[in-house]
Amino acid sequence: MRIEELDGEIRSGIASRPKDIKILRSIPGIGMVSAYTILAEIGNYLDFKKPEQLAMWAGLVPSVYQSADKLITGGITKQGSKHLRWILVQVAHAISHAKGGKFKKFFLKIKAKKGYLVAIVALARKVLCIIHHLLVNQEMYEEEGRSSKGCTDS
């Protein structure tokens, strides 16, 4: 019974955001379930002033260890929403198997340098940064001439 109540709360929260769902669905690799999950996990995207803050909150940034003049970067921090990380990695896998596009080009470039798994996580972070930009500016994703302000190419 409690699950049905929570299900209802999620649906009513998402139902009030049809424009956000449409924006997310305009991104290659994101379907209805992915869009719902991403929006439910992020909540109010305006709480994050920059895409990097959202990526940090999602745990998609590298851990950094610094001592004196040594700087060591490790794997991603994995802090924050594991569900958001999971769905973004699934979206990245879908994009990596698609034909062409700027996301696929980015993925292949990173894969050649650092390997498949690092490239998947880097693509997941890039998608999250673009999601933030599109939602904040209420813009649809467009492949040609798109702007990804604030997104770094990790």
Which pLDDT score, from 0 to 100, does residue 104 have? 93
Q: Residue holding tokens 């001439």?
A: 145
Extract the runs of DSSP E, i.e. beta strands, from the chain: 62-67, 70-76
Which pLDDT score, from 0 to 100, does residue 133 have? 96
CA separation for the pair 127, 89 (Å, rounded): 10
Give a three-class secondary structure readout of 25-63.
HCCCCCCHHHHHHHHHHHCCHHHCCCHHHHHHHHCCCEE
Which pLDDT score, from 0 to 100, does residue 99 have? 86
**What is the tens place of the pLDDT at every residue in 23-52?**
999 999 999 889 989 998 998 999 999 999
Let me know: does 57 contact 48? Beta carbons within 8 Å: yes
Which pLDDT score, from 0 to 100, does residue 103 have? 94
Low-confidence ranges of the chain (pLDDT < 70): 1, 77, 144-154
Structure-token pair, residue 78: 């994995």
CA separation for the pair 85, 82 (Å, rounded): 5
Which pLDDT score, from 0 to 100, does residue 23 have? 95
